[in-house]
Structure 1
Amino acid sequence: MKYIGLIVCLFISSIFSINAQEILSPNKKIKVIVTADNNSFGQVSFKILYKNKLEYIEVLPNSPMGIVRDDQQFTDNLKLVDASKVKEVNQKYEMIAGKRKLCANQGVEKVFKYVNSNNKPLNIVFRVYNDGVAFRYEFTDKIDALVNVIDEMTTYVFPSTTNRWLQSYTESYEDFFPFSDSGKANNNKQEWGFPALFKVNNNPVWVLISEANSTENNCAARLSNLKNPNEYKVSYASPRDNFKQTGVKTMLPWNSQWHTLIIGQLSDVVESTLIMDVSEPNQLKETDWIKPGPVSWIYWAYNRGSKDYQKVVEYTDLAVAMKWPYVLIDWEWDVMTNGGDIIAAVNYAKSKGIKPLIWYNSGTSWLEPTPNDRMLTAEKRAKELAWLKEIGIYGIKVDFFAGDQQDMMKLYLDILKDAAKYQIMVNFHGATVPRGWARTYPNLMTTEAVYGAEWYNNKPTLTNKAAEHNATLPFTRNVIGSMDYTPVTFSNSQHPHITSYGHELALSVVFESALQHFADRPEAYNSLPVEPKEFLKKVPVTWDETKLVDGYPGEKVIMARKKGNQWYLGGLNGKDEKQTLKIDFGFLDKANYKLKLIKDGVNDKSFDVEIINVKKGAVLNVECLPRGGFVAVLEKQKEKN
């Protein structure tokens, strides 16, 4: 009898080994289990576990996979024919901009090869990293005719007690990330844009879902939980009025974008470079001409573009006074008057040692702002970019893209490629979220895709929501790439802001953007006290290292970013009440440091400055006003002989 029991156990064990295969991250903290049945046709699913202390916590219960073409489906009719051995992925690379200079694409990869009931092949490739998981679909057969990839069955399943911070989907990705424990939207659409943040099942485990390495043969996706609030299905961009296509039309072989899940403690999420890690390496041969930096920006203060030559002069002079290398000449520059035209404005900037950047309408969406017809086709781009190079323009801001369809993915990439030929940097506005392109084409300096400070011009909503929103973005939108929020405003635009001056100053460190557009009026910066003004003259926009010191979405954040031998700290109070932010200096080397702290003063329009000696392991409590904040600079002290 015992032999029968042993045989049964061995049989069950062999069935389990067939039906489920594990992939472990290099540090063994993340475990992916993929169903891989080679005995019958069925649906593939995967689950993710995370090792917290001594035990594995289920992060993602069994979650369906699959993809659909117009000529074939690969959903509930898949059979495993082969699974590769786990292989190491190990690639070091350097970023010109971003949260970290030296990065490593370091994980393990396993490829599952399936066929559907028509014997057509599909590969599902998994990569597992110490800070997350990425997977993609691959059609490996060769078909010269176009096929239409129309849908995915990919669904992220979460326990019902999961907390979430999700943005309702809009084409411009300009909305808030409100906290929810139900997964239900204020509208009936139940559609969500990337990135999407989850805190799983009351455990200290966080997941940020997005996607990366989209190409001209992909469209961008979104999430939908219309059928079940705890099941988030990947959905492709909808057709639009003048682009009727659903999904992607492509010849084979083909692969999807990488679906990414950044997983771990909150600091693992914030500090992750997974979006860049899985994206294609730099395609540009020369990059010495790519120079990140602060920018003076006209639009915010006047809710208008740059048709007034005298305003362009004012903001050029501001850049000179603040030692910022760039001035952005925004929309309406093609009808500039009041003393000069665009050539005069460019020449004035160059005469002052300031490098001009210039705005364009993409020509695909809201066509009223001009110039609106110069970036849409290859021929028009070549003509315009050659002219820009000739007159001395260093970068373009391209605005008002039409959506997330395949033709828009192609347009983004075509603009980046064409601009690089003329050594022109690029800023995308009114655009999709970052998808790893800044690694592939490092002339992409920043992307809007955020409910930023320009919204003080449009509605009164941001006045009361800004502090909480600002304290949420470091855990959501800014994780996946540079974010052109247009920060650090002390005066008011059309609608007032009630964040403190200390809070506003801290945005220069808390928010990462390779072109940091400082948005306020010249007189607002000129009238600052000496210490905050000098801080804004020197604060970097690119970083060697980034650390989350403390934080929780919507409540507080303390970011530490290293540049050379200095650490810059920024802290935000996201609450409408006073809060003490605690700086733990455990991230420092074993040395003595001098800290210059610029924090909230006696009221929200004043500052207080302190000089403090600190070392590794020290703790400093900083009192913040409601919606307040602080910045600090840490300088390592030379050892005495």
Structure 2
Amino acid sequence: MKHLLLVLGLFLGLMGYAQEILSPNKKIKVVVEMQPAGQKGLGQACFKVLYKSNGTYVEALPASPLGIVRADQEFVSNLKLVEEGKPVAVHDKYEMLIGKRRLCEDFGTEKTFSYQNSSKQPLNITFRVYNDGIAFRYAFPNHSDSSLSITDEATGYIIPQGTSRWMQSYDKSYEKFYVLNTGSSEEKKAGEWAFPALYKVNDHPIWVLISEADITRQNCAARLSYKQGTNLYKVTYPSATKNWNGGAVSSLPWKSPWHVMMVGALADLVESTLVTDVSEPATFTDTKWIEPGSVAWVYWANNHGSKDYQKVVEYIDLAAKMKWPYVLIDWEWDVMSNGGTVKDAVNYARKKGIKALLWYNSGTDWLDPTPADRLLTHEKREKEFSWLNDIGVSGIKVDFFGGDQQEMMKYYMDILEDAAKHKLLVNFHGATIPRGWARTYPNLMSTEAVYGAEWYNNAGILTDMAASHNTTLPFTRNIVGPMDYTPVTFSNSQHEHKTSFAHELALAVVFESGLQHFADRPSAYYGLADAPRKFLMAFPTTWDETKLIDGYPGQMVVIARRKGKLWYVAGLNGKDILQTLNLSLSFLGNSDYSFQIFKDGEDAKSVTSETTIVKKTDILHIQCPPRGGFAGVISEK
């Protein structure tokens, strides 16, 4: 009888249980619970996230559903908890070659919950609660050599109506704006939304950024879908196409990517390395050949400039004069003429001390600029990459990927692995957002996945949207990984700039990318005054530390990044009115420092420079005209 009561008590406890997992600093709490379903003894797992603000836990995410679906059976409302693991401390240290911080260290608490569905098939859900957010993933732990299809998830995030959110409607190249809405209009419209998704917890200084990380060959990449009137943004897999499967196909055991939520103040999100924290360590250790740096880029001002040898030479000379280590030769280099071939251009660059990067079409059938279809198979890549080694090319830019299907994820990783064997840097364009691969494959220098400056070539929308857009990206897209926006353009391409020269100069600091492609024509950089030109000449593209000083999405941002003993600081005005940006210098040490600052001059096309003495107790109030900005370098005296 006692045994029966014990079993009954355990059963009732598991059905009604709510288990808490705390971050090491006790600021973040995850509650995992079961909601009963129609079948006796079975239910659906849910989770909610709380954040301690002013001594009280505030609900950062209301109770939201968990669950996953395979083609052969589901693991959603038919779950029974069979075991709750013990909390395990997570502590990791690693070094990044690019990103917002060189030396990374994380602390977390991990717990695994083991379930069975009505067919007694196992599902594990592992949670990690870090000091700056949470991550969770699904796993089918049993073994099977036959392939199974993972078709969908019940995972969702409930974001109540009226919550301020910044989300990008889904596009396979992730080139849309992060539009602020409160749900009043957008929630009347069903649709798909891309990662990352940012929202502010109503009436509290708490922010949440949702994304995913650590995608492997077992996975596709997901997105969020919204159903009218539900407040629920559900994790959704890409659909099948004529060439690729939808969802994921794998033998068992199988693990999903990590579902990631960064939680805290805006500075916690901007400074977080959670996406790489949960990603696999580097697949190779010989990284001495990997050198991030600044790049002169021929495309922006010329569109088809790379097929003109003389134009390419101009940009090689620009890189040499600006002391930038790289030149990117973009599409149509395979038909280069007017005095030389691509081999001639690479040889010329080498003589100038400049390393060449070459553009490739990934081989998709929806856009056809050349060279196309040279990377689609391992055999083709081996042939092409060996030729690049022979002629002295240092890296590749691969463009026009076709979606987030599992086959595309494999293709990205195949390119990265084969390129690493040939000591080639990689930059992905027309691509999915970063999901932690910069840690796993250290030769990945940057990814586009952003509505960047190249759009001045294509449409007039950025002319009026740029300032607001540029002050939203540091809180959304650029948080999850390096972003090849192709910034710092002073002249006009096909469409007009309205951001000021100081705003453009500041983008070099505000936007993080292992390869920073400076996109303007040579005359624009030669025409700068000595001080801002020298600022760009000595500009680093990797950072030891990053600090958000102030900001609000779409309005303004002030950020500081350290390289060695130098601090680079910058601010952007995202509004069409004058704003005062506040630069607190509390991140400095106790010495006196010299601060060379570049600000807007008498008009939007002039930059002033001055040097002052500052210390950590100072707060500078910098007036920025509409769509203006500032940048500068702080060095110890």
Scaled to the shorter chain, the TM-score interval is: over 0.9
Distance 1:54 1:574, change over 3 A: same
Q: Name the SS of the counterpart of 1:306 in structure 2.
A: helix
CA 1:238–1:155: 2 relative to 1, 3 Å:
same
Partner of residue 151, structure 2? 150
Moved more, 20-29 or 183-192: 183-192
What is residue 51 of structure 1 aligned with on the other side? 52
Indicate whether 1:67 and 2:65 are aligned: no
Q: In 2, distance between residues paired with 1:408 and 1:329?
A: 25
In structure 2, the partner of 1:35 is 33
Q: Secondary structure at the match of 1:156?
A: strand
Q: Give distance in 1, aligned partners of 2:572 and 2:155.
A: 36
Q: Shift of residue 242 of structure 1?
A: 2.4
| Cα distance in structure 2, aligned partners of 1:261 and 1:470 | 23
Partner residue, 2:97? 96
Aligned counterpart, 1:236: 237
1:316 deviation in Å?
0.1
CA distance change for structure 1 residues 258 and 491 in 2, over 3 Å: closer, same or farther? Answer: same
- In structure 1, how many angstroms separate the alpha carbons of the residues matched to 2:81 and 2:477? 37
Instruction: Determine the structure 2 residue equivalent to 1:475.
Output: 475
- Summarize deviations over 1:240-296 as a string: whole Å, max 9, x none: 2322x2201110000000000000000000000000000000111200000000000
Counterpart in the other structure of 2:274: 274
With over 3 angstroms needed to count, the CA separation of the structure-2 counterparts of 1:131 and 1:183, relative to structure 1, is: farther
| Structure 1 segment 506-585 matched on structure 2, within 5 A | 506-585=506-585
Q: Write the distance in 1 (CA, Å) between the matches of 2:367 and 2:478.
A: 28
Aligned residues: 627
How far apart in 2 are the matches of 1:171 and 1:98?
24
More divergent stretch after superposition (185-194 vs 600-609): 185-194
Query: For 1:280 and 1:82, how far apart are their aligned partners in 2?
Result: 26
Q: Secondary structure at the match of 2:306?
A: coil
Q: Shift of residue 305 of structure 1?
A: 4.4
Q: Does 1:410 align with 2:401?
A: no
- Displacement of 1:15 in angstroms is 4.0
1:9-36 Cα shifts (integer Å, max 9, x gaps): xx89984895110000000000000015
Give the match for residue 196 of structure 1. 197
Greater alpha carbon shift after TM alignment, 340-349 vs 603-612: 603-612
* Cα deviations by residue, 1:486-538 (Å, 9 ceiling, x for unpaired): 00000000001110000000000000000000000000000100110000001
Match of 2:290 in 1: 290
Name 1:595's counterpart in structure 2.
Answer: 595
Judged with a 3 Å threshold, the aligned counterparts in structure 2 of structure 1 residues 316 and 556 are, in CA distance, closer, same or farther, namely: same
Aligned counterpart, 1:21: 19
In structure 2, the CA distance between the partners of 1:248 and 1:423, relative to structure 1 (3 Å rule), is same
Question: Which amino acid in structure 2 is aligned with residue 20 of structure 1?
Answer: A
Structure 2 SS opposite 1:462? helix
Q: 1:183, 1:229 within 8 Å by CA — same for their partners in 2? A: no
**Secondary structure of residue in 1 paired with 2:439:** helix
Q: CA deviation at 1:390?
A: 1.1
C-alpha distance in structure 1 between counterparts of 2:571 and 2:309, whole Å: 37
Q: Deviations over 1:559-614 (max 9, x none)?
A: 10000001000110000011110101111112211111100001000111121111
Deviations 1:370-414 (A, max 9, x none): 000101111100100011011101000000000000000000000
Residue 285 of structure 2: SS of its match in structure 1? Answer: coil
CA contact (8 A) 2:35 2:46 kept: no
Residue identity opposite 2:59 in structure 1: E
Correspondence for 1:255: 255
Rounded Cα–Cα distance in structure 2 between residues aligned with 1:116 and 1:105: 34
| TM-score after normalising by structure 2 | 0.96
Greater shift, 155-164 or 208-217, is seen at: 155-164
Per-residue Cα deviation, 1:143-164 (whole angstroms, up to 9, x for no partner)? 1111000000001012323110
Q: 1:516 to 1:365 in 2, by over 3 A?
A: farther
Report deviation, 1:104.
Answer: 1.3
Structure 2 Cα separation of the partners of residues 490 and 340 of structure 1 = 29
Give the superposition deviation at 1:225.
Answer: 1.3
1:628 correspondence with 2:628: yes
Describe the shift of the 1:59–1:500 C-alpha distance in structure 2 as closer, same or farther (beyond 3 A).
Answer: same
Give the structure 1 partner of residue 117 of structure 2: 116
Letter of the structure 1 residue corresponding to residue 33 of structure 2: T
Structure 2 stretches lacking a partner, 5+ long: 1-8
Give deviations 1:428-477, integer Å, cap 9, x for gaps.
Answer: 00000000000000100000000000000000000000000000000000
Q: Aligned-pair distance for 1:619?
A: 0.7
Match in the other structure for 1:3 = none
Aligned-residue Cα RMSD (Å) equals 1.7
Q: Contact 1:600–1:606 (CA<8 Å) still a contact in 2? A: yes
Please say if 1:332 is aligned against 2:332. Answer: yes
> For 1:76-475, what aligned pairs fall within 5 Å after superposition?
76-182=77-183, 184-185=185-186, 188-228=189-229, 230-243=231-244, 245-475=245-475
The 3-state SS of whatever aligns with 1:252 is strand
Which of structure 1's runs of 4+ aligned residues deviate more than 6 A? 11-14
- 47-56 vs 300-309, which moves further: 300-309
SS in 2 for 1:182: coil
Check 1:417–1:337 CA distance in 2 against 1; reply closer, same or farther (3 A cut). same
* In 1: Cα distance, 2:564 partner to 2:300 partner: 32
Aligned-pair CA distance for 1:353: 0.4
Quick one: which amino acid aligns to residue 385 of structure 1?
F
8 Å contact 2:34–2:43 — kept in the other structure?
no
Q: In structure 1, how many angstroms separate the alpha carbons of the residues matched to 2:35 and 2:580?
A: 54
3-state SS of 1:468 partner: helix
Give the C-alpha shift of residue 367 in structure 1.
Answer: 3.7
Aligned equivalents of 1:542, 1:309: Cα separation in 2: 31
Q: Give the equivalent residue in structure 1 for 2:485.
A: 485
Q: CA deviation at 1:197?
A: 0.2
Change (3 A) 1:454 1:434: same
Q: Look up the equivalent residue of 1:98 and give its one-letter code.
A: G
Residue deviations 1:69-92 (CA, integer Å, cap 9, x gap): 001100000000101110011110
- The offset of 1:228, in angstroms, is 3.2
Q: Report the CA distance shift for 1:118/1:229 in structure 2 as closer, same or farther (over 3 A).
A: closer
- Bigger mean CA offset, 289-298 vs 14-23: 14-23
After superposition, the C-alpha distances for 1:339-381 in whole angstroms (9 at most, x for unaligned) are 0001101100001000000000000243420000101111100
Shift in Å, 1:624: 0.6
Consecutive unaligned residues of structure 1, counting only runs of 5 or more, are 1-10
User: Structure 2: which amino acid aligns with 1:35?
Assistant: E
Letter in 1 for 2:328: L
Q: Which amino acid aligns with 1:585?
A: L
Deviates more, 1:525-534 or 1:17-26: 17-26
Counterpart for residue 7 of structure 1: none
- Look up the match of 1:8: none
In structure 2, what is the Cα distance between the partners aligned to 1:80 and 1:452? Answer: 47
8 A Cα contact 1:20 1:37, kept in partner: no
Distance 2:370 2:221 in 1: 27
Q: 2:164 & 2:305 partners in 1: Cα distance?
A: 41
Say if 1:189 and 1:227 are closer, same or farther in 2 by CA, change over 3 A.
closer
8 A contact 2:187–2:229 mirrored in 1: no
Q: 1:388 to 1:606 in 2, by over 3 A?
A: same
Counterpart Cα distance in 1 of 2:365 and 2:17? 48
The residue type paired with residue 390 of structure 1 is D
Query: 1:349 and 1:491 mapped to 2: Cα distance?
Result: 25
Given that 2:555 and 2:575 are in contact with CA atoms closer than 8 Å, whether structure 1 keeps it comes out as: yes
